Each structure stands twice: as C-alpha cells, then as structure tokens.
Amino acid sequence: MLQTDVRKKLRDFDLEVSLSVDDGEILLLVGDNGCGKTTVLNLIAGLMDPDAGLIHQSGRALFDSDLNVNVPPEARNIGYVFQNYALFPHMSVYDNVAFGLKARKIPASEVDFMVKDRLEAAGLWEIRKARASSISGGQKQRVALARALIIEPEVLLLDEPLSALDVRKQDAVRRELRETIHQCRVPSIIVTHDLRNVACIGDRASLLEMGRITLSGPAEDAMDWGRGALAEDSARSQFY
C-alpha cells in the first residue's frame, strides 16, 4: 500500500494531500489544470520535496519529515510515465526500454531477455530498432509504459498518459492500459482531467481542487461529479 500525507507551499496555494492506494489498485487523480495533480506525482517520485509529511510504501519510508528520511528518486523504485513520455528521441525503442536496467548494471544477457519479453508483450518487438522520434503517439505511450514497468516498480505513476493520442484511438488504449496496469499488482496513480479515463481505467477517483482533495470515492461515482456543477462541457468529459 502507498500512503501519502504531504504538505507543500506552492506559488498560488498550499498543497495538502492525504491519500492511500492499495496494491493492485488504480487511483485516478482528477482536477483542473494547475490544481497540483502533477506536483503530487513529483512529490511521490522524489522529484520535488514536501515541506512536511510522509510518503510510505508497504511500510517503508520514502519520505518522512519526522524521521528525517528522504530517499532519492533513483532508490524509490517508482515507475513514472510522464505526460510527454520523456523518451530519448535519438535512441531506439529497444534502448529506451533497456535504459533503466542498464543504469542498474544488470548483466547484458538479462537485459536482452527482459527487454525482448517486455517489448513482445507490448507489441513493440517488430519496431525495436526504430528511433523513438519516428514512431506514432500510441507506440510512444507503450514504449514509455514498458520502460516504467521493466524495472518492476513498487509504485506506478502516470501523468495524462492519453492526452497526446488521437481521440479515435483512446478507447482501445484505455482498455489496454487498465489491463496492463492491473497485471502489475502495484499501487498506481493516474493523473487526468478526462472523466472517460476515470470510468474506463480507474478503480477509485479523487478530485483535487487548489491543492486539496475535495471528493473521493469509487470510479463510477466520479461520473456523478461530472453531471453536477463540476462539468461544464456538453460531453461531461472534462473538468475545467
């Protein structure tokens, strides 16, 4: 279980977020642009430091201001899929996925086996030699997810993983993404502003407004949030 109870003073507001995510559970963190969603992910990943609070994974302190613990990002074993995927454009699909393993000094023979297995599972083996800059948005999304998963993370974080995809392709990718993440059986948090992602991917949802979680519940309840005053678009698919 991932447990987070953190405080961080930001430019426009003070962020105070407390949440927990069970093993194998997908939490959708939804809210307005600029409300602090990505900041929450960055705090958990160790890319930003909270001012105070705690972040614990399965009882292990990743950050704890009372205990003076702050584990560096590379030692947290967290898989992170960034909004822009953050692939190395000059590197091949294979080398992008292998990067984290090589950084951990895994023997080359094991790297080859693990990367081939992960790329085949993601349907990417045939394009393994292609440069990341030359592949489609959907393929980039799968490469980024494969890179995050190959290190066998204890926590998985995804920041707007579908925002760069063609709308016509998103339904199929949502189903694929939910299945892939559930197979990992780790606590997962997905940042989104699209209620369709909540309904199709999430187990539970939390609404973040100006650094505070104001609503939380089963994913299906989030559709009711959208039918109320929180959704202003006719499709009831986004928070603005």
**163-188 confidence digits (pLDDT tens):** 766 666 677 778 888 888 888 899 99
Q: How far apart are CA 111 and CA 174, in angstroms?
A: 28
Is residue 147 within a helix (H) or strand (E), and if so which, with residue range? helix 137-149
> Per DSSP, what are the bridge partners of residue 212?
16, 209
How far apart, in Å, do the first and last CA atoms of the chain sit? 31
Which tops the pLDDT comparison, 209 or 166?
A: 209
Q: How far apart are CA 170 and CA 174, in angstroms?
A: 6
Domain 1-77+155-240: assigned CATH number: 3.40.50.300
φ and ψ at 158, to 5 degrees?
Answer: -135, 125
> Do 157 and 81 form a contact (C-beta atoms < 8 A)?
yes
pLDDT tens profile 31-79 = 988 999 999 999 999 999 999 999 999 999 999 999 999 999 999 999 9
Domain ranges of the chain: 1-77+155-240, 89-152
**Whether residue 237 has pLDDT greater than 60:** no
Which tops the pLDDT comparison, 233 or 11?
A: 11
